[in-house]
Copies of this chain bind each other. A is one copy, B any other.
Amino acid sequence: MDERPDSPGATGPAPDAPARRPTRAETLAEAIASAITEGRLAPGMALEEERLAALHGVSRTPVREALRLLAATGLIEQRPRRGAVVARPEPARLAEMFQAMAELEAVCAGLCASAMGRAEKAALYARHAAMGRLARDGAVDAYRDANVGFHELLYAGAGNRYLAELAETTRRRLAPFRAAQLGGPDRLAASHAEHGAIVTAILAGDATAAAAAVRAHLAATEGAWGLMAGQPPARMG
């Protein structure tokens, strides 16, 4: 019964493998979080413990722990004795979160300008160039995927994992409200042009310009969210 496939040399580059075999609560939390960020669970929906338990074939106990995790992450809201619902921040708070994310990314970009090595800068430029081709071809879906990677390069290039985590958490919490982003093809080209300003500033080592370019980029995308902020509460599907 003792099989230990246990990392014989090259288990993988595993940057951090703290949870070898995740507990059910963690698996559940991940599943629910994905359902929220991908839009399968809309903001305002009620999350009943028993239903989630039955849905995932477990008891209520791990469900409750998963909900605690998600509540601390901010993806859901728990009212004592009144159940949990998918977080539905008020418009004012959404604006705050978006501004905070812009500032976080601006800080990252500023750090990138001085902290990135040659290899990282080359990778960033390569990604940018590839995205230019996608934008020219109008490949919206591929561009969106590559876009996530682009911003993650900014997080990683800053050389500050904690800052990157803050930015990624914020990005996740905003995900349900950014569905309509990159809607039009002109927006695609505009996005790429704004990325160009960011990349140029970073390659030049100009932290101030890089931060400003990021703020401009995110201010330009700001109009594309908040469309589903006024829905009435609903049951879980």
Q: How far is the CB of A66 from chain B (nearest CB, A)?
A: 8
Residues of B within 8 A of A20 (CB): 80
Partner of A69, one of B22, B68, B80, B97: B68
Q: How many chain-A residues does the 8 Å CB contact rule pick out?
A: 42
Residues of B within 8 A of A161 (CB): 93, 96
Q: Does A114 have its Cβ within 8 Å of any Cβ on chain B?
A: no
Q: Which of A71-79, A126-134, A141-149 contacts B (4 or more CB under 8 A)?
A: A71-79
Interface string of A216-237 (1 = CB under 8 A from B): 0000000000000000111100
- Tell me how many chains of this kind the complex includes: 2
Q: Does A123 have its Cβ within 8 Å of any Cβ on chain B?
A: no
Q: Are B232 and A3 interface neighbours, CB within 8 A?
A: yes
Q: Does A9 have its Cβ within 8 Å of any Cβ on chain B?
A: no
Docked complex Cα distance between A46 and B139 (Å): 51
Partner of A160, one of B26, B100, B232: B100
Q: Does A210 have its Cβ within 8 Å of any Cβ on chain B?
A: no
Docked complex Cα distance between A77 and B18 (Å): 9
Q: How far is the CB of A85 from chain B (nearest CB, A)?
A: 11
Docked complex Cα distance between A60 and B38 (Å): 34
Given contacts A4-B233, A22-B80, A233-B6, contact A72 B61 (CB under 8 A): no
Q: Does A35 have its Cβ within 8 Å of any Cβ on chain B?
A: no
Q: Does A99 have its Cβ within 8 Å of any Cβ on chain B?
A: yes
Q: Does A23 have its Cβ within 8 Å of any Cβ on chain B?
A: yes
Residues of B within 8 A of A93 (CB): 161-162
Q: Does A166 have its Cβ within 8 Å of any Cβ on chain B?
A: yes
Question: Taking beta carbons and an 8 Å cutoff, which residues of A are in contact with B?
Answer: 1, 3-6, 18-23, 25-26, 61, 64-65, 68-69, 71-73, 77, 79-81, 93, 96-97, 99-100, 103, 107, 160-163, 166, 170, 232-235
